[in-house]
A and B are shown apart, each in its own frame.
Chain A
């Protein structure tokens, strides 16, 4: 499961902004919203006749595979970097 999301934004003439987002505490804070989202997803699965267990398992697998992802975009003096660890 992802532990840390890092966002770095560099703008021309400005100081670079770095944001570290600890995923687990954020998920815990937003736990009610997460539970609600899972319930909505489960209902959608039932409506479209997709196995709820399979869908949730695959969703979890997707989230678990996120660490190591990195997006780095630079143009001139502007840059955005997003990493998931």
Chain B
């Protein structure tokens, strides 16, 4: 019960207002409540199972839509698969990244860190809104 509703009920209990007035006040309070959260925020909370990527765009004047659903379990398996990449291949990838101006050492990326990242994906929502495209990445 929120504070304002409690105040109204207290006033009713103390006899400062009548039951009708209390009812009107509560009704007014409910009208003033902020609108319900958007459908994205209102999705059921719980352990997320899927990563969703939804893209709505206009391509050559035609509406285009990409809707991808990937099980988070698949991401976890992919992370484990990535951990099997031999060090030679990582070295080559690092060199190419450096050449492209991305000084990133892939060998520093541990599978445990990636798994922790996947575990916390369900709290992540990315929304990109542009005039001709809308991208949403979220977990459900």
> Do the beta carbons of A68 and B71 come within 8 Å of each other?
yes
Question: Which of these binds chain A: B10-18, B80-88, B97-105?
Answer: B80-88
Interface of A is mostly: mixed
A61-B88 contact given A68-B69, A73-B66, A75-B59, CB 8 Å threshold: no
- Residues of chain A lying within 8 A (CB to CB) of residue B49: 68
> Do the beta carbons of B65 and A74 come within 8 Å of each other?
yes
> Do the beta carbons of A75 and B81 come within 8 Å of each other?
no
- Interface magnitude class on chain B: 20 to 34
A50 CB within 8 Å of chain B: yes
> How far does the alpha carbon of A53 sit from the alpha carbon of B66 in the complex, in Å?
37
> Do the beta carbons of A48 and B88 come within 8 Å of each other?
yes
Measured CB to CB, the closest approach of chain B to A81, in angstroms, equals 9
> Do the beta carbons of B80 and A58 come within 8 Å of each other?
yes
> Do the beta carbons of B81 and A65 come within 8 Å of each other?
no
B4 CB within 8 Å of chain A: no
A6 CB within 8 Å of chain B: no
> How far does the alpha carbon of A67 sit from the alpha carbon of B35 in the complex, in Å?
37
The residue that A75 contacts in the complex, of B50, B62, B77, B84, with Cβ under 8 A, is B62
> Do the beta carbons of A74 and B68 come within 8 Å of each other?
no
The residue that B74 contacts in the complex, of A69, A71, A73, A75, with Cβ under 8 A, is A69
The residue that A59 contacts in the complex, of B65, B81, B88, with Cβ under 8 A, is B81
- Residues of chain A lying within 8 A (CB to CB) of residue B108: none
> How far does the alpha carbon of A20 sit from the alpha carbon of B84 in the complex, in Å?
33
Interface positions of B (Cβ within 8 A of A): 49-50, 59, 62-71, 73-74, 76-78, 80-81, 83-84, 86, 88-89
Query: What 8 new A-B contacts, CB under 8 Å, besides A58-B84, A70-B67, A75-B59?
Result: A49-B86, A59-B81, A65-B71, A65-B76, A68-B50, A68-B74, A69-B71, A74-B66
The contact sample of 5 A-B pairs, CB cut-off 8 A, is A48-B88, A58-B83, A62-B77, A62-B78, A70-B68
